[in-house]
Structure 1
């Protein structure tokens, strides 16, 4: 995800219940539409979901609303992404052991509902287990074992991965991390090991702000070009797209998508949500704000479909099911309504914007 430590963020959320104020419904007359988004989408349309006990309010498995969440996810989407439980801290908690239970649950859920699974994420500078932070052995061997074990475990069930997440700063310079310090060529090695573990999987680099910051995108594209020059497989770029009602501009986004396609890389909108309460001054999702969000979602989806040729589309994933449990509220510490479903899992005007884009393209 973005720059925060997700575990700390979740703990803050649980300690500050009420930070997400309920908003008026602002739901348009779409509740009788029987088709979900996946049924009308020309691309794979996914959603990030909670699974573990530590994210119990959003968990498909442990939430008091688990059944309703499952029904919504199965109706609306055809791909799922684990918001947290495939990150190293949770899936590889100690050097010699892996915890598959929660991630396996998601894979089984996807199979039951004929959905795909996108793996997120093999290498990141956050959500690391303590043993990785203090590791003193052979870093190359450790990275290879970590990636090979996870990708091999899911080779029959997961056909695309975020291999490396957020390796660059906004100015395009490499992010300092345990990986950069101990294994400077870790990005190339990570993609190579993932490809060796599953030669058929699509492999993505994933990052935020690259739709609006050209220096960062240029660094990412240069990295991808270097990998291909070394005959190391990389399929495409994941644009996280944690954006807001103002930024980035449609022209900025279009240019970023075009540059990526011109580099021969797939474009995947990997973590889409749209903040509306940017200054923290709004107390509710007014009909006016709901309409603006509907238009913003519609514009983004249409831009993607009109700019990215079919063969370069890696799909679209929304980062969360409902406003109630979005990371946005917890990170910015004021109410916001960034997703397609409200606190009661009712379709919002934002959902209508996405539906309109899919059905009009």
Structure 2
């Protein structure tokens, strides 16, 4: 209780110390959808104080980058760590933000002990699902009524629409997904529930996702929206491919949320698409051309790409409830280390000094006013 009180005091001081601009990004799209951003431990704790004013000025939805993933919040069988989660929820309350929980079940950043018994032997289906449900009950239960929506299951499909053969799937089949959604709804009936994945713009992958989502819906399992991770590049995927995904998800009876938006401005190896953290390549000048600053040409292309994307999202505002950037500023972006480690990337709306990229902002203003 003392820690929470101190957090509120710190946030109040930091928020009130900054003079906001006339209008923020969230204000541009206030009649269209929430504008969200993923935040990290430094930002929610106030250790990156300039960030708090930017968050309050430009965003009305929050997502946690890593702090609520299993390995962070539940590192050992009988041990939970809610330091990040409590500070994160306090920040959301201070901002009056639409606050997201990310994520309850994922094949990565989940400790091996989750899948094993005390002797290290792989659990059976019943015991694994029971352990998963206990985790959901504790984590989602702690933030019942405070977290507005959960990414319940993350990245459970392959690119061809088949199920990813993770430890979850190998033990429990697709039933682990159904059980996770059932339990999340049981624990917090008022929270929105999402299935979240990357490359949902691909027809083959989307087909598998929607088949399962419709199957769950037919069985009375609540699924509110499909999260389309927006990990895009300057030239791909096409707007037509993204739009087709938005339309098909809506026609299947689900809301669309753009969950992890960023734009990689750097060249990639040909076989590096999406957001699979198992992919990694060695650094080289070929893949890291802007160490000393982004070129004017690439900066202009980035601004136009964001304008085109937001124009598409704005066009389908009746289907999209939220657009969330995956990181607050370039210096904190995961794309500095994916798919090539140690790069200098420029994929977000704010630069490394937490200054809004005015070229992007002006184009977004044009989109909103059109």
TM above 0.5, one fold? yes
Displacement of 1:133: 4.2
**Cα distance in 1, alignment partners of residues 177 and 361 from structure 2:** 36
**Cα distance in 2, alignment partners of residues 203 and 350 from structure 1:** 31
Q: After TM superposition, list the pairs within 5 Å mapping 1:100-119 onto structure 2.
A: 100-119=82-101
Q: Equivalent of 2:212, from 213, 219, 223?
A: 223
2:80 maps to 1:98: yes
**Cα distance in 2, alignment partners of residues 170 and 47 from structure 1:** 26
Gaps of 5+ in 1: 1-30
Q: Equivalent of 1:75, from 53, 57, 60?
A: 57
**Cα distance in 2, alignment partners of residues 228 and 91 from structure 1:** 29
Is the 2:150–2:193 contact (alpha carbons within 8 Å) kept by the matching residues of 1? Answer: yes
Gaps of 5+ in 2: 1-18, 269-286
Residue 60 of structure 1 is matched in structure 2 by 44
Residue 132 of structure 1 is matched in structure 2 by 114
Q: Deviations over 1:310-342 (max 9, x none)?
A: xx3220000001111110011223222100000
When structure 1 is superposed on structure 2, of 343-352 and 128-137 the one drifting more is 128-137
Q: Secondary structure at the match of 2:206?
A: helix
Residue 13 of structure 1 is matched in structure 2 by none
Q: Equivalent of 2:25, from 37, 43, 49?
A: 37
2:364 maps to 1:354: yes
Task: Give the TM-score normalised by structure 1.
Answer: 0.84
**Cα distance in 2, alignment partners of residues 93 and 32 from structure 1:** 39
Task: Give the TM-score normalised by structure 2.
Answer: 0.82
2:155 maps to 1:155: no
The count of aligned residue pairs is 319
2:68 maps to 1:86: yes
Displacement of 1:303: 0.7
Is the 1:267–1:308 contact (alpha carbons within 8 Å) kept by the matching residues of 2? Answer: no
2:33 maps to 1:49: no
Residue 302 of structure 1 is matched in structure 2 by 311
Q: Equivalent of 2:231, from 242, 245, 263?
A: 242
**Cα distance in 1, alignment partners of residues 239 and 46 from structure 2:** 39
Q: Equivalent of 1:253, from 242, 248, 259?
A: 242
Is the 1:258–1:308 contact (alpha carbons within 8 Å) kept by the matching residues of 2? Answer: no
Residue 163 of structure 2 is matched in structure 1 by 174
Is the 2:33–2:317 contact (alpha carbons within 8 Å) kept by the matching residues of 1? Answer: no
Is the 1:257–1:308 contact (alpha carbons within 8 Å) kept by the matching residues of 2? Answer: no
**Cα distance in 1, alignment partners of residues 203 and 323 from structure 2:** 21
Is the 1:239–1:267 contact (alpha carbons within 8 Å) kept by the matching residues of 2? Answer: yes
RMSD: 1.8
Q: Secondary structure at the match of 2:110?
A: coil
Residue 271 of structure 1 is matched in structure 2 by 260
Q: Equivalent of 1:326, from 333, 336, 346?
A: 333
**Cα distance in 1, alignment partners of residues 145 and 256 from structure 2:** 24
**Cα distance in 2, alignment partners of residues 295 and 125 from structure 1:** 35
**Cα distance in 2, alignment partners of residues 206 and 32 from structure 1:** 33
**Could you say which structure has the greater relative contact order, defined with CA pairs below 8 angstroms and 6 or more residues apart?**
1
2:299 maps to 1:290: yes
Is the 1:322–1:339 contact (alpha carbons within 8 Å) kept by the matching residues of 2? Answer: yes
